[in-house]
Copies of this chain bind each other. A is one copy, B any other.
Amino acid sequence: MTTDHFTIVAAAQAVPQHVVTNQALTDLMPTSDEWIRQRTGIQTRHVATTETTTSLCVSVGQQLLAQTDVRADQIDLIVVATMSPDYLTPATATQVQAALRATNAVAFDINVACAGFVFGMELVHRYLQSGQTALLIGGETLSRLVDWHDRRTAVLFGDGAGGVLIQNQPDSSSGWLGQHFASFGEQGRYLTAGQFQQKTPWQSASASPQWAFQMDGRRVYNFATKQVPQSLQAALASAQLAPSDIDLYILHQANARIIASVGRKLKLTAAQLPMNIAKYGNTAAASEPILLAELVASGQLKRGMRLAFAGFGGGLSVGTAIINY
C-alpha cells in the first residue's frame, strides 16, 4: 500500500582523511599492490584516525541540509544503516538527529551489513507519507573490525559514510519503480564480524570470539555473482524494464570482479556500471551512497535517469531498488 513517490533530493559523502595505499599494507602483511589490484580492483582505502561512524554520518547529514532548502526541523525520519556503530546504544541515527537538531525526526538504525543502504531505501519508501522528508545514511568504520595482519580480508575494507535526503513528492517526475529483496541466513556463516565476548560472573569467558572479519571468499563470490543478477532481474521484472532501460547501476562496491561478472550476466555497458572501489575499498552500507554522491557531483547523474541500486553481503542478504532519479 505504499506510493511510488520517492525523490532523492540530494546526496553526500564523507570519508576519513587518512588514505592507506596497497603499498602501505605490504608493511603489515605479505601481500602486494599488484595482487590486491588484480583480485579486488582496490588501490586505496580511507581509514578512520580521529573520525568515528557517528562523525562521518553527521558530516553527511550536515552536507545534505546545506545542499537543500530543507530545515533540520522539517526532517521526519532518520535511518542509519551500519554494521559498525560506535555504541550499541544510543543508535547512530539518534546521534545524527542530535547533531543536526532535527528535533521532529524519528531516528533508528538498521543492520543488514553491506545490503543496509538498499534495504534502507525500501524502508524509507514504505515510511514516507506525502510531503515527508527522510535522511538515509550508510556509515561504517570497518577498520576496527579488521585483523590488519590477515591478508585475505584486511585488503578489502574501508571506512566512510554516504547518504541521501529523500522526499515523498507527489508532483515530482522522480519515483520508485520496483524492488526485490531476499535473505539467505543459511549462508550467514560465510561472512561474519564483530562476535562479542560472552562473559558474566556465571559464565566463563568464551574462547576468543571472532571479532575480525571472517570470510569464505569463494562462497561469497559465488553468492554475489549468482544472486545479484537474479535480484536485479526480479526487480527489473517488477518494474517492467529490461537491463538496457537502466542508465546507471549503483552496485555495492565489494569487489571489481563481482561487479564485472554482474555486468557480463546482464550484458551491461561499462557506462552503465560506474565504480569507485579503487579509491575506497568495500565500505559496506556506505558504498552505494558514496558512489551516488560522486556521480551527482561529477554531473554524470542527471535528473530523469533510471537507476538500479543493488546491495549484497553479510546475512547473506541481497536487495535491489529501481528508481527514476
Using CB atoms and an 8 Å cutoff, list the residues of chain A in contact with chain B: 1-3, 18, 20, 28, 47-49, 52, 78, 83-91, 93-99, 101, 105-113, 119, 123, 126-127, 129, 141, 143-146, 148, 181-186, 188-189, 191-203, 313-317, 319
Contact = CB atoms under 8 A, between A and B. Distances in A.
A59 to B, nearest CB: 16
In the complex, the count of this chain's copies comes to 2
Which 6 pairs between the two chains have the least Cβ-Cβ distance? A88-B194, A98-B185, A89-B314, A90-B188, A94-B185, A97-B185
Contacts of A145: 88
B201 A28 contact: yes
Contact of A88 (B83, B127, B181, B185): B83
Nearest to A315: B94
B197 A316 contact: no
B111 A18 contact: no
A193 B200 CA distance: 16
A192 B85 CA distance: 12
B111 A186 contact: no
B108 A110 contact: yes
A113 B91 contact: yes
Given A89-B193, A107-B183, 18 more contacts: A1-B2, A2-B2, A28-B201, A47-B200, A48-B198, A48-B200, A49-B202, A84-B196, A85-B111, A86-B196, A87-B194, A90-B185, A91-B111, A94-B183, A101-B186, A107-B185, A108-B315, A143-B200
B196 A144 contact: yes
7 contacts: A1-B1, A2-B2, A86-B196, A87-B192, A88-B145, A91-B112, A94-B185
A18 B185 contact: no
Contacts of A191: 89-90
Nearest to A49: B203
A33 B146 CA distance: 44
Contact of A315 (B52, B90, B113): B90
